[in-house]
Structure 1
Amino acid sequence: MKKNMGNIDKGIRTILAVAIALLYYFNVIEGTLAYILMAVAIIFLITSLVNFCPLYTLFGFSTCKLEND
């Protein structure tokens, strides 16, 4: 897998995932919506950790800075 996520993108995804987890923890969100948002939060965390987003590949998008060789 080639990296396609920049640091800002990873930070935003991590902050959103933590915010969703906190909303769930404090019972602000519940039921089906909570489960869907928690799944999204887990996906955000995983993609942040591996620096790769499959949707970016499908759309030919990248937030990663180009490296000069």
Structure 2
Amino acid sequence: MKKNLGTVDKAIRIIIAVGIAVLYFTNVISGTLAIVLGILAVVFLLTSFISFCPLYLPFGINTLKKKRR
């Protein structure tokens, strides 16, 4: 599993996940929408922490900057 998420991409995913959590805990979202967005938030956090997004593979997307030698 090769890393394919850059720093900015990870930060955006974490911010979105935190935003969803805030909406849930302030009762702005509930029911089915809350469940779907909650699952999305968990996926965003998981992919941010492991720096890998499986959906990027088929499209060849890589936001990780290459290290210079």
Identity %: 55
Instruction: Give the TM-score, by structure 1 length.
Output: 0.96
Matched, 1:55 2:51: no
Separation of aligned partners in 2, 1:22 and 1:10: 18
Instruction: Give the TM-score, by structure 2 length.
Output: 0.96
List aligned pairs for 1:13-32, cutoff 5 A. Answer: 13-32=13-32
How far residue 68 of structure 1 moved from its aligned partner, in angstroms, is: 2.8
Separation of aligned partners in 2, 1:22 and 1:30: 12
Can you give the 5+ residue segments of structure 1 that lack an aligned partner in the other structure?
none
Once superposed, which parts of structure 1, at least 4 consecutive aligned residues long, lie more than 3 Å away? none
Higher helix share: 1
Aligned residues: 69
| RMSD of aligned Cα (Å) | 0.7
Q: Give 2:16's aligned amino acid.
A: L
> CA offsets per residue over residues 14-50 of structure 1, 9 Å max, x none?
0000000010001000110000000000000000000
How far residue 13 of structure 1 moved from its aligned partner, in angstroms, is: 0.1
1:35 is matched with 35
2:64 is matched with 64
Can you give the 5+ residue segments of structure 2 that lack an aligned partner in the other structure?
none
